[in-house]
Amino acid sequence: MLLLGALAILRSVVSANAFEPAINYQLHCQGCHLADGRATPDLVPAIDPTLGRMMRVPEGRDYLVRLPNVAAAQIDAADTAALLNWLLARFAAHDLPEGFDPISADEVLAGRTAPLVDVAGARAAVLRRVSEPSP
């Protein structure tokens, strides 16, 4: 009986969490990135499949967690990691590398210690790395 109760609680926690990234996106990201991640010209870039391609190299993961508004998000590291993995699945699923290892809370914590200053430069460097032939 006790076990069944524990399982029910666990299930409700798991299903409650399943909605959290979408809500966190609304609360912390959507004001700038809009509901569908589209660009606002000259202000905010689109969240699009390019991001999935960028996850093929370690520098791309690093870029994602060090983005200023990601590194400064007022949610804990585990929820931020869940949000980023949700974001990648929602906007860039087809371009994610095979066997993509989800972004972890530890990576988010590391990113928070060193937010990007030159976002455009870091992005260009990641895209250069992605287009290099693999060794």
Q: Answer for the pair 119, 68: CB distance below 8 angstroms, yes or no.
A: yes
Segment lying near ligand HEC (by CB under 6 A), choices 1-9, 13-21, 64-72, 93-101 = 64-72
Among 20, 34, 69, 89, binds ligand HEC (CB under 6 A): 69
Segment lying near ligand HEC (by CB under 6 A), choices 1-9, 14-22, 63-71, 100-108 = 63-71
Q: Which residue has the tokens 């990691």?
A: 81
Please tell me whether residue 22 binds ligand HEC under the rule CB under 6 A. Answer: no
Residue 40: CB atoms within 10 A of its CB come to: 11
Please tell me whether residue 29 binds ligand HEC under the rule CB under 6 A. Answer: yes
| Cα 27 from Cα 114, distance rounded (Å) | 23
Q: How buried is residue 127: exposed, middle or buried, by Cβ count under 10 Å (0-12/13-18/19+)?
A: middle
Rg over alpha carbons for the chain, rounded to the nearest Å, is 16
Among 21, 28, 61, 107, binds ligand HEC (CB under 6 A): 28
The residue type at 20: E
Q: Answer for the pair 80, 70: CB distance below 8 angstroms, yes or no.
A: yes
Q: Considering beta carbons, is residue 11 or 38 the nearer one to ligand HEC? A: 38
The least distance separating ligand HEC from the CB of residue 120, rounded to whole angstroms, comes to: 7
Q: Considering beta carbons, is residue 8 or 31 the nearer one to ligand HEC? A: 31
- CA 15 vs. chain centroid, Å, equals 20
Catalog residues that contact ligand HEC under the rule CB under 6 A. Answer: 28-29, 31-33, 44-45, 47, 50-51, 64, 67-70, 73, 83, 87, 119, 123
